Structure 1
């Protein structure tokens, strides 16, 4: 019962992560379920779906189909959709029921490819892991299939980890692309917002990969091993944070050595924090963005005591001493009510976990994987100086937020 949530909704699952990665491609994507999981993705996990023409479908799995294992019916539906829509790809995405009955989605996808001649993918997602794991599963399969080794292009970068679950409507990603263009970089693959099959094919030509989320970090690790592309992990949050991030991009391009933004130049960060705020801060959310916000709090505002609580799993390689893996509601509640912290930065849905009468300062910043459409009013652009403006607008009278 440790995973029981009373106040918090279920966070976006792995099948939504797969579907989000496939969203931009000309794909017939079928979630193998009775419609609940499909509705969960289209209704709550991806703001892009409304008004789009993305081919996300439900297989219409029924009880007798599950009992009898009637895979032929599924294949006939997929063949009919392929004939009508003429997609570039076919994809089958798992849900809890196929997991329980042991459906061989990879095998079915292979058979579909044999019948139609269209590249087919089967993803054994279960709904029991989070969206970033599903997204990485899809990205790895796509890169294996389509990325073609080629000559490295100077100044070309890939943005890895751009998911609506982390970035909502994509304003932060748009700001990131603008920043890169203004500083002489060409964006190649932006996985998984606004990209094409052609971008995937040229993904291995990039000089640097930019990992902007945990999903992006996992993908960057994979591409480093397979294509020997170095990466920078982190997002350019805050005015000084963005300056440091751009310096790190240039350094990674010149040296070919991978870096983490928050480890790039600790002496500069230490100097900035020497006269900073003593307020103790807890940031709860996706690990890479939370780390980047922590870096900006130190560089731009002088906060010296900031802890990150990871909601979807914690990569030890990205963690600082004291960081926490907050894998269930009980641990989240204990963390936000701990006397160790005076300020909480988290999704607004986490605020009700504070004890009644708490005097902690709570700064809500929406994460689509948690609050979906209900948290949109708390969305924030944190790229570059936008974060400084966001923080200053939320400072309390008498609270010293910067040195």
Structure 2
């Protein structure tokens, strides 16, 4: 019963982050689903949809497709008016398409041959977290990024579920980033293989960063604005959230003379962890962790229901956890006093 969730909603799924990654690189995301997954993506897992809609299609599977499997999907694309500036097409899989087994690899080859548009198939399945989808999307998109000259500093792992547009502008200026992946058009990413260094905005980008280091010799590090502060060992605050962003919050707290541990339901990289940092396994595990001696928790407002009343709570909404429920209530890191 340890995996039974009674308080927390489903976290943002792998196909959602993969679809956003395709869009952010100038591609057309094609979500392979019968119904529902597309709605979940645009309503809950893409905070920018109201301001930046488009570049997403849905392959509407039906019962006949599942039973006979003889539908000519290419006919769907022949009837579409695909924008001429589309950089590529990215197929994103959901639970049904993964179970049925639509051969999108063949469709990618046919699209390239018939329309001259590169295409990739991202093997998401709707059961992984948005971190899993990000890692898979970055790896597959790299396969069709054209060769080019070096691009200076590259920011890796951007997700609208973690950073606002304002935060990204500030971060890009701070590190003098030449490209952001996802974020920059695929044609602008041509020099990413020869980047001078990679800075990770999320631990979900580390699998990709390791590929870049092993194949192309590009070193990587986690994003950390300003100077890194040392802790005093008195860790009475627990920051619950995406690891890299939580590390930034911890560093800000240390500059104010307060120390903290980091816990996450998502990817916990050993490269960016300190002693005391933990991967949260379940709701029960989080409650037990908080009850072990912490006096304050910083995290999504939904976590409040898992925190004992005697422990103070500072809300920091995370779209990957609570969707749009609290997005407008997000606090700035500098306001954590």
Provide the secondary structure at the position in 1 that maps to 2:4.
Answer: coil
Once the two structures are overlaid, the 10-residue window that deviates more, 37-46 or 137-146, is 137-146
Provide the C-alpha distance between the structure 2 equivalents of 1:20 and 1:235, rounded to a whole number of angstroms.
Answer: 24
Using a 3 Å threshold, how does the CA distance of structure 1 residues 41 and 166 change in structure 2: closer, same or farther?
same
Q: What are the ranges of 5 or more consecutive residues in structure 2 without an aligned counterpart?
A: none
Following superposition, the deviation at residue 21 of structure 1 comes to: 0.6
Matched, 1:329 2:283: yes
The corresponding residue for 1:196 is 185
Matched, 1:158 2:154: yes
* Correspondence list, 1:1-400, <5 A: 1-72=1-72, 74-81=73-80, 83-86=81-84, 87-148=86-147, 150=149, 152=150, 156-167=152-163, 169-180=164-175, 185=176, 187-193=177-183, 195-236=184-225, 242-244=226-228, 269=230, 273=232, 278=234, 280-298=236-254, 300-304=255-259, 306-336=260-290, 338-355=291-308, 358-382=309-333, 387=334, 390-392=335-337
Following superposition, the deviation at residue 363 of structure 1 comes to: 0.7
The corresponding residue for 1:264 is none
Matched-pair contact (CA < 8 Å) for 1:279–1:343: no
Using a 3 Å threshold, how does the CA distance of structure 1 residues 88 and 343 change in structure 2: closer, same or farther?
same
Structure 1 outlier segments of 4+, above 3 Å: none
Matched-pair contact (CA < 8 Å) for 1:344–1:361: yes
Q: Which structure is higher in helix share?
A: 1
Provide the C-alpha distance between the structure 1 equivalents of 2:31 and 2:10, rounded to a whole number of angstroms.
Answer: 18
Matched-pair contact (CA < 8 Å) for 2:25–2:181: no
Q: What are the ranges of 5 or more consecutive residues in structure 1 without an aligned counterpart?
A: 237-241, 245-267, 393-403
Structure with greater contact order relative to length (CA < 8 Å, sep ≥ 6): 2
Following superposition, the deviation at residue 33 of structure 1 comes to: 0.5
Following superposition, the deviation at residue 127 of structure 1 comes to: 0.7
Provide the C-alpha distance between the structure 1 equivalents of 2:332 and 2:236, rounded to a whole number of angstroms.
Answer: 23
Following superposition, the deviation at residue 368 of structure 1 comes to: 1.1
Provide the C-alpha distance between the structure 1 equivalents of 2:327 and 2:321, rounded to a whole number of angstroms.
Answer: 11
Following superposition, the deviation at residue 126 of structure 1 comes to: 0.4
TM-score, normalised with respect to structure 1: 0.77
Provide the C-alpha distance between the structure 2 equivalents of 1:235 and 1:179, rounded to a whole number of angstroms.
Answer: 10
Provide the C-alpha distance between the structure 1 equivalents of 2:271 and 2:221, rounded to a whole number of angstroms.
Answer: 13
Q: Kindly report the root-mean-square deviation, in angstroms, between the aligned alpha carbons of the 2 structures.
A: 2.1
The corresponding residue for 1:252 is none
Provide the C-alpha distance between the structure 1 equivalents of 2:273 and 2:243, rounded to a whole number of angstroms.
Answer: 8
Provide the C-alpha distance between the structure 2 equivalents of 1:302 and 1:79, rounded to a whole number of angstroms.
Answer: 61
TM-score, normalised with respect to structure 2: 0.92
